[in-house]
Structure 1
Amino acid sequence: MTAKRIISAFPARLGLAAFCLALAFAGAAPLPARAQARLDAQYEATLAGIPIGRGSWTIDIADDHYTASAFGGTTGLLKAIANSSGTGAAQGHVVKGTLNPVNYTASTTTRHKTEAIHIVLSNGNVTEYGIDPKPPVDHDRIPVTDAHRKGVLDPMTGSLLYVPAPGDPLSPAACHSSAAVFDGRMRYDLSLAYKRMETVKTKKGYNGPVVVCAIYFKPIAGYIPDRPVIKYLSTERNVEIAFAPLPGTRYLIPYRIVLPTPFGTAMLEATQFITQVSGKTAKTQ
C-alpha cells in the first residue's frame, strides 16, 4: 500500500469527505447571507510533519436550513508527485435542531481524470445518486442495495456532530455517537468513543477546549474487501478526531484528525477557525 493511496483514500473512507488529507476537500458554492451560526475555517494536511495539502471549509447554519462548502488541494512535494484538488457542497434543512440533508456534490481532479459525485436525499433516504464518469463494474465489489441507501447521511453532513440537550455539548458525552454514511460509492458506519479533553490555540480564531474522540470505520457495502486500504482502516484503532464548538448551536465541528500510517502520522488540523453568531464574530476563549 503506497503513501499516495493511504492519503487519498482516508478522508472518503472516514466520512470527512468534506476534507482531504491531501486531495479532496468537498465543495465551493455560494452561501446565503442570513445565518444563525457560521464557520470560516482553513486547514493544513501533513504527513510525518511535512505539509502536503491545504483547504478551506465554510458552514452556515440558520433556523431552517444549512449549507456547507469547502475547497482544497495538494501542496509541496506531494503536489509535484500527485497534483490533485477537490470541490463540493452540501445543503439541507434544519428540523428540530438536527440536519436533514437534501443535496451533496463533490468532485476531484487529478492529472489523469476528473470525477464528480452527486447525491439527492429526502428524510435520510437517497432518492438519486451518480458518479460521472461512471466507474467500470468490479464484480469483487460488495453491492450497495436500496436498503443500504436508507437512513443515511452524506459525508459532509455526517462530519458535523450534533449533541442533544441538555448539558454542555462540548463534553465526553459528545463522543457517544455513530453515523451511517453513503458517499455515492460506498456505504459505511462511523462510531466514536471518548478519549480526552484538550485545549487548542489556533493561529487565527478559536482558542479553547476541544473534545477528542476515537473514530472507528466499518465498511458495509460498495467496497472491495481485498483492498489494502479497506483492511487497514477497518482494523486501525488509533484514529482520532478533535471537535470544536460552533457557538449558538449544539454542533461540534472537526478541528483536527490524526491517522497513524506506515509512513508517519497523517494529520489534518485547522489553522484558522473563525465563528460568527447572528452576524457577529464569536469571542474566543
Structure 2
Amino acid sequence: MLRFCLTAVLALGGAGAAMTDARADGRLEARYLMSLGGLELGRAALIIEIDDKSYIASGSGRLTGVAQAVAPGKGTAGARGVMERGAPAPRSFAMQAESDKKAEAIRIVMNASGVTDTRIEPPINPAPDRVPITDKDRKGVLDPMTAALIAVPAGADPFSAKACERVLSIYDGRQRYDLELSFERVEDVKAEKGYSGPSVVCRIAYRPVSGHRPSRSAVKYMMKNRDMFVWLVPVAGTKVMVPFRAAVTTAIGVARLDAESFETEPMIGRRATPSKAGVP
C-alpha cells in the first residue's frame, strides 16, 4: 500500500508522444490525498520542473490515519532526464520506502537506448513462476515517474483524445509492463488550492510483460480490471499533462488519489533548487 501511495500518482500517467515544439518552461507543485473506500490512507506530494532541454520530478508519500496505526510507512522518489524532440527521455530514477517491517530501495540508470544499470535492495526473491526480465525488456522504456509526463503532440488540443491514446512501456526495476490508455471524456476538476478547469479522463489497462508472477491472483485481477482511470491536466507553460486524480477499483474498494492543491506556473529562464523529495 505504501508503494501505491508513492508511485500511483507517478505511474498512472505516461509519456512518449513526440512534440515538434516545446519551447516553454513550467513548474508544478501538487499535494494529493490517498483514500480507499472513502477512508484516508495517506498523503503524497509531487514537484515537476520542465524546460525545453530537461526535466526534474520528485515525490514523497506517507501513510496516515488508520493505515499509519496498522503499518507506518513513508518514502521518496525522484527522476530526471532530457527533452528529446519535445518528449521526456529518462536518465535516472530512484525510490526509497520504509515501513515497520522492511526498507526498499531501487535505482535505475538509463540512456537513449534503455536501461544501463539497476540496483535493488532487497534483491528480488527467486520464484519458479516468475517471468524473467530480458535485455530486450529494458529497451525503450520509461521509469514510473517519467511515465507521469504526458507530452501532447504540437498543434493538438491538450483536452482531447490525443492526450490519452498511447501505450506506455514502463520498467520499475522489479517489473516491465505496459499501460494502455484510451480516451473516456473531458471533465472539470477543482483543487482546494490552485488549478480549476478541464481535465482529460483516460481509461487504463494493465499488461504485464516480465518480472511478474502470472499465477498470482493480484496479477490476474489487475489484468482483467477495466476500472482504472487517470485525470490529466497541463503543467502551465508547457505541452505536458500530468495526473490530477487517479482511481483504481480493487477487491476491497476504490483506491483514489486526489489533488488537494495543484499549483502550476510558467517558469521561463529559472530552475529552482531540487527539493528534498528524492531527485537522484
Q: 1:246 to 1:157 in 2, by over 3 A?
A: same
Match of 2:226 among 222, 229, 237: 237
Q: Where has structure 1 moved over 4 Å in runs of 4 or more?
A: 8-12
Determine the C-alpha separation between the residues in 1 that align with 2:59 and 2:4.
17
Give 2:58's aligned residue: 69
Q: Give the CA deviation at 1:135.
A: 2.8
Give 1:171's aligned residue: 160
1:164-205, CA deviations, whole angstroms, 9 ceiling, x for partnerless residues? 121212212211111100000100001111111110111000
Give 1:29's aligned residue: none
1:242-263, CA deviations, whole angstroms, 9 ceiling, x for partnerless residues? 0011121111000111111222
Query: CA contact under 8 A between 1:126 and 1:150: conserved in structure 2?
Result: yes
Determine the C-alpha separation between the residues in 2 that align with 1:203 and 1:236.
30
What is the 5 A alignment of 1:122-271?
122-271=111-260
Query: CA contact under 8 A between 1:214 and 1:239: conserved in structure 2?
Result: yes
Determine the C-alpha separation between the residues in 1 that align with 2:139 and 2:11.
24
Structure 2 unpaired stretches of 5+:
13-23, 270-280
Determine the C-alpha separation between the residues in 2 that align with 1:71 and 1:207.
23
Query: CA contact under 8 A between 2:2 and 2:63: conserved in structure 1?
Result: no
C-alpha root-mean-square deviation of aligned residues, in Å?
A: 1.9
Q: 1:185 to 1:155 in 2, by over 3 A?
A: same
Query: CA contact under 8 A between 1:160 and 1:251: conserved in structure 2?
Result: yes
Letter in 2 for 1:251: V
Give 1:114's aligned residue: 103
Q: Give the CA deviation at 1:124.
A: 4.4
Query: CA contact under 8 A between 1:189 and 1:219: conserved in structure 2?
Result: yes
Alignment partner of 1:39 is 2:28: yes
Q: Give the CA deviation at 1:9.
A: 6.4
Give 1:60's aligned residue: 49
Q: Give the CA deviation at 1:37.
A: 0.6
Q: What secondary structure is seen at the aligned counterpart in 2 of 1:80?
A: helix
Letter in 2 for 1:145: T
Q: 1:218 to 1:11 in 2, by over 3 A?
A: farther
Give 2:76's aligned residue: 87
Q: Give the CA deviation at 1:133.
A: 2.3
Query: CA contact under 8 A between 1:42 and 1:54: conserved in structure 2?
Result: yes
User: Of the two structures, which has the highest relative contact order with CA contacts closer than 8 Å and spacing of 6 or more?
Assistant: 2
Determine the C-alpha separation between the residues in 2 that align with 1:97 and 1:69.
20
